[in-house]
Each structure stands twice: as structure tokens, then as C-alpha cells.
Amino acid sequence: MERDCIVIDEVNHQALFPRAAAVVHHGGAGTTYAAARAGTPQVIIPMFSDQFYWGWRVCALQIGRTLSLNELNVQNLSVALRAALDHVVSERCKHVSKQLVVDGAATAARQLLGEIR
């Protein structure tokens, strides 16, 4: 394994992601949100289900890149990481992170109560 890369199992995303230069992950909704909230560029390698959608959203928001599992190799991952680490993407990540809310449950409750009334 390369000295500048680690592979880990479980970790607190909220604690780790703000300290990372970039996050390479599967594209689950929670992981994608955690990276976006941290303001950290991301490369999504979707495997199934909604992960493809989140990869598309990350690209559309210009906060990272997506890479097909079929195209995953050292060269393509390096290209995706270089693109995600571009200073324009990094600045965009910081901008987007400030717009994300952390009180989703409270916001949903207020909306539901507003509809009920």
C-alpha cells in the first residue's frame, strides 16, 4: 500500500472528512452529505441504487467527480482525484458546505406541522 493512502473500516465521518484533502467513497447518501458538509472534495465510485444519483449530484454541484466501477484503475482514479482537488472545486466545496443544514429533522417537523395546521 502507498504511504499516503490508508484504508479504514468504520470511522466518524464528521471528525475525519474536514481533515482530508479528498474523500473517495461509494456514494451513499450519508457519506456524500458528510463530505459535502465538511467542504471536502469527493470522488464517488457508485455500485448500485441511489449511489449513481449522488454521483451525478456531486458532479452537477461541482463538488467532486464520479468514476464508474468498470473504469476504476490507478490512472482513472488519479485523473478523478486531480480534478476533484482543483482549486475551483475546492472553493466550490467550501461554498456549498455553508448552505447545507444540520437540523433536517427539525426542518421536516416544522414543515409537517405547517401542513397539518
Query: Counting every residue, how long is the chain?
Result: 117
pLDDT in tens, the chain (117 residues): 567 777 778 889 999 999 999 999 999 999 999 999 999 999 999 999 999 999 999 999 999 999 999 999 999 999 999 999 999 999 999 999 999 877 778 888 888 898 887
Any domain includes 1: no
Cell of 28: 451513499
The total number of structural domains that make up the chain:
1
User: What is the structure's pLDDT at 108?
Assistant: 83
SS3 readout for the chain:
CCCCCCCCCCCCHHHHHHHCCCEEECCCHHHHHHHHHHCCCEEECCCCCCHHHHHHHHHHCCCEEECCHHHCCHHHHHHHHHHHCCHHHHHHHHHHHCCCCCCHHHHHHHHHHHHHC
Report the chain's C-alpha Rg in angstroms.
16
| Structural domain containing residue 27 | 13-116
Report whether 72 contacts 46 (CB < 8 A). no
CATH of the domain at 42: 3.40.50.2000
